[in-house]
């Protein structure tokens, strides 16, 4: 596994190293030892799948509040997605900055999203599926979010007029909510 740094300390793009032959390829997509070597959370409590029927579907920006902050490894297993993380760490020099990477079934990239980050994605194809490994169990009472279109972040989403849930539309703009995570 190749760990490619992002502009955020502790956040990575993970590229599987493919061992290819005439049959196809084999690649490791999770290794406790390699995660620990990079100082990352290597224990996961839950795995989730997000299936999205339509191009332009946007989910996020989601996070869990303390003491249930979660790290995530996210991989696209079908289709393509524009995957975004936003740094919410109070003392970080990159606080409120965002970074995006295209995840696809073809490129097999993953992102490691550390604790204290908000996360979201927008689908770039119909029938896109993402697979998440989560370091914490989902706690509805700790589930939080921020608006995808918050001018404080100015995220350049690739598709206008996204398909959104009422819940994601109801998230506050930065400054309206005390960020607890």
Q: Using one digit for the tens of pLDDT, what is the confidence trace for 166-175?
A: 999 999 888 6
Backbone angles phi, psi at 16, to 5 degrees: -65, 140
Q: Using only C-alpha atoms, what is the Rg of the chain?
A: 16
Residues designated catalytic: 62, 132
Could you give the domains of the chain?
Answer: 41-170 (2.60.120.10)
Q: What's the CA gap between 115 and 42, in Å, rounded? A: 12
Percent of the chain having pLDDT more than 90? 91
Pairing relation of β-strands 143-145 and 58-64? antiparallel
Give me the numbers of helices (H) and strands (E) for the chain, helices first please.
2, 13
In terms of pLDDT, which residue wins out, 172 or 162? Answer: 162
Q: What's the CA gap between 103 and 123, in Å, rounded? A: 10
Q: How far is CA 110 from the centre of its chain?
A: 9
Determine contact, residues 124/158, Cβ cutoff 8 Å.
yes
Note if the pTM is more than 0.75. Answer: yes
Q: What is the pLDDT of residues 116-159, one digit of tens each?
A: 999 999 999 999 999 999 999 999 999 999 999 999 999 999 99
């Amino acid at each position: 596994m190749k760990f490619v740094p992002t502009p955020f300390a502790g956040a990575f793009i993970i590229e599987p190293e493919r061992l290819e032959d005439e049959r196809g390829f084999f690649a490791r997509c999770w290794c406790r030892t390699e995660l620990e070597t990079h100082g990352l959370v290597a224990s996961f409590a839950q795995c989730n799948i997000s299936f999205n029927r339509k191009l332009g579907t946007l989910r996020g920006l989601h996070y869990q509040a303390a003491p249930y902050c979660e790290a995530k490894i996210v991989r696209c297993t079908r289709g393509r997605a524009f995957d975004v993380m936003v740094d919410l760490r109070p003392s970080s020099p990159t606080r409120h900055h965002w970074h995006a990477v295209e995840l696809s079934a073809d490129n097999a990239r993953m992102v490691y999203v550390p604790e204290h980050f908000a996360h979201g994605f927008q689908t770039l194809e119909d029938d896109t599926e993402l697979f998440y490994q989560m370091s914490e169990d989902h706690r509805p009472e700790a589930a939080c979010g921020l608006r995808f279109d918050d001018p404080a972040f100015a995220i350049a989403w690739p598709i206008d007029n996204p398909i959104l849930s009422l819940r994601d539309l109801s998230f506050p703009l930065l400054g309206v909510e005390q960020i607890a995570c």
